[in-house]
Structure 1
Amino acid sequence: MTRLSGKVALITGGNSGIGLAAAQAFVAEGARVAIVGRRQDAVDAALRGLGPDAMGFVGDVGELAMHDRLLDAVRTRFGAIDIYLANAGMAILEPSAAVTVENYDLQFATNTRAVFFGVTKALPFLRDGGSVILTSSIAGTRVMPEHAVYAGTKAAIEAFARNWALELKGRRIRVNVLSPGPVDTPILAKLGITDAARPGFERQMAEAIPLGRMGQPDELARAALFLASDDSAFVTGVNLKVDGGMSLA
Structure 2
Amino acid sequence: MEKFIDKVVVITGGNSGIGYATAKEFKRQGATVFITGKRADALAKASMELGVRGILADQSDLQQIAGLVKEVEEAAEKVDVLFINAGVAFFAPIGDTSEKQFDAMTDVNFKGSFFTLQKFLPRLNDGASVIFLTSGNTALAMENSAVYSAGKSAVAHLARIAAKELARRKIRVNAVSPGPTETEMQGKFGMDEATLAGMKAHIISHVPLAKMGTPDDVAKMVVYLSDQTVSSFITGAEFFVDGGMAL
TM range (shorter): over 0.9
Deviation of 1:199 after TM superposition, in Å, equals 4.3
Deviation of 1:138 after TM superposition, in Å, equals 1.1
2:21 is equivalent to residue 21 of structure 1: yes
Distance 1:55 1:194 in 2: 34
Distance 2:204 2:68 in 1: 39
Contact 1:138–1:243 (8 Å) recurs in 2: yes
Task: Specify every segment of 5 or more residues in structure 2 that has no aligned partner in the other structure, as ranges.
Answer: none
Q: Which residue of 1 aligns with 2:147?
A: 149
Q: Which residue of 2 aligns with 1:238?
A: 237
Q: Which residue of 2 aligns with 1:3?
A: 3
Q: Which residue of 2 aligns with 1:219?
A: 217
Deviation of 1:245 after TM superposition, in Å, equals 0.3
Give CA-to-partner distance per residue, 1:170-191, whole Å, 9 cap, x none.
Answer: 1000000000001000111101
Number of equivalenced pairs: 246
Deviation of 1:141 after TM superposition, in Å, equals 2.1
Deviation of 1:193 after TM superposition, in Å, equals 4.2
Counterpart residue type for residue 63 of structure 1: D
Give CA-to-partner distance per residue, 1:21-57, whole Å, 9 cap, x none.
Answer: 0000111111111101011111111111111xx2111
Q: Secondary structure at the match of 1:9?
A: strand
Q: Secondary structure at the match of 1:61?
A: coil
2:164 is equivalent to residue 166 of structure 1: yes
Label 1:193 to 1:220 Cα distance change in 2 as closer, same or farther (>3 A): farther
* Stretch of structure 1 that moved more, 4-13 or 122-131: 4-13
Q: Secondary structure at the match of 2:105?
A: helix
Q: Secondary structure at the match of 1:246?
A: coil
2:176 is equivalent to residue 178 of structure 1: yes
Q: Secondary structure at the match of 2:205?
A: helix
Q: Secondary structure at the match of 2:246?
A: helix
Distance 1:150 1:7 in 2: 33
Distance 1:91 1:6 in 2: 34
**TM-score normalized by the length of structure 1:** 0.95
Distance 1:34 1:65 in 2: 18
Counterpart residue type for residue 190 of structure 1: K
Contact 1:85–1:132 (8 Å) recurs in 2: yes
Distance 1:192 1:245 in 2: 27
**TM-score normalized by the length of structure 2:** 0.96
Give CA-to-partner distance per residue, 1:127-165, whole Å, 9 cap, x none.
Answer: 000000000001122111100111110111111111111
Q: Secondary structure at the match of 1:47?
A: helix
Distance 2:216 2:70 in 1: 30
Q: Secondary structure at the match of 1:184?
A: coil
Distance 1:64 1:181 in 2: 29
Deviation of 1:3 after TM superposition, in Å, equals 1.9
What are the equivalent positions in structure 2 for 1:13-52 lying under 5 Å apart? Answer: 13-51=13-51
Distance 1:200 1:40 in 2: 32
Give CA-to-partner distance per residue, 1:8-31, whole Å, 9 cap, x none.
Answer: 011111000000000001111111
Deviation of 1:192 after TM superposition, in Å, equals 2.9
Q: Secondary structure at the match of 1:247?
A: coil
Counterpart residue type for residue 25 of structure 2: A
Distance 1:139 1:167 in 2: 25
Distance 1:151 1:221 in 2: 21
Distance 1:125 1:199 in 2: 43
2:65 is equivalent to residue 58 of structure 1: no
Counterpart residue type for residue 212 of structure 1: A
What are the equivalent positions in structure 2 for 1:177-196 lying under 5 Å apart? Answer: 177-196=175-194
Q: Which residue of 1 aligns with 2:72?
A: 74
Across the aligned residues of Structure 1 and Structure 2, the Cα RMSD in angstroms comes to 1.2
Task: Specify every segment of 5 or more residues in structure 1 that has no aligned partner in the other structure, as ranges.
Answer: none
